[in-house]
Structure 1
Amino acid sequence: MNEYKIEDLLFEELILMDQEASDYEDLITQIGELAFEKGYVDKEFSKAVIEREKLYPTGLPTNKVKVAIPHAMVRDNVKKSAIIISKLKKPVLFKEMGSSTDSFIPVDIVFLLAVNGSKDQLTILQKLVGMFSDDDAMVKLNDMKTASDTIGVLKEILSQ
């Protein structure tokens, strides 16, 4: 990522703490509405993310803290690249990535990507997946109580 670092895509105003949602569609809609209100995406963004999630689920069966990394197939909906993070009060079920059955993951943290370039998105996904496999880092991240602390820990982890 020559243009920017993954850390440059993190904004306190896009870190949601103790969020509640009835299901993954409700959650993605809430996140998309926030990103729209803040000027990062257009009105159709959350719909595009939900459509992609139905075709290509993003729930990951990580060890300690379960995560999902939803994103849209079409990036035309993104005005300003960002990673929107939602730490959930209670887990929300996401279908497991790559599962041929209806296997669901009770997700604790969602990293919703709103990124313009497909190469940039792939780089971000690789960096995040690397972080997800670090159990200690994920527990530390999950223990953060404020958006500011969450960003601090993410920047520390992702800059390694």
Structure 2
Amino acid sequence: MNEKKSYTFLEIKQKLVNYCVYQDRCHQEVEQKMWDYLLIPEAKEEILLYLMKENYLNEERFTRSYIRGKFYMKSWGRNKIRNHLKFKGVPEKLINSCFNEIDEDDYHKTLAKLFLSYHSKIKGLQAYQKNSKTIKYLMGKGFEYEEIMQVMQDEEKG
């Protein structure tokens, strides 16, 4: 019963256009989707070129919206965002050039807010243990160690 429906080239092309219109995609996601349709290499290439030419597929736009979304919606730090983008096959140079999507003040404020929120929830531990757990948590969210230490010092000064 595991029969796959077969589509014409134009149907597949339209499905991939819809896939890209729904949300910005990176090349790797689109290529992965094409695997599902068992396309020959020439057809894949033609569709990829069409998607790029018509601006349905734009790696820089994808990278910028990914960075904004993960930071402003999920409060991820630069390291976690960078690693996830690398995993999606986005070139390092492009990732670095798009990080200006995150405002420096917003980055610092978000980190400080996460620090205070998490730090205040930890009960019954020595100060150094609380700090250690908080650092580990924030590094897990992708924030840089130096930035975390800066926020900690700012909070201690009060």
Q: Same fold (TM over 0.5)?
A: no
The structure whose RCO (Cα within 8 Å, separation 6+) is larger is 1
Range class of TM-score, shorter chain: under 0.3
TM-score by length of 2: 0.22
User: Could you say which structure has the higher strand fraction?
Assistant: 1
User: Could you say which structure has the higher helix fraction?
Assistant: 2
Larger radius of gyration: 2
TM-score by length of 1: 0.21
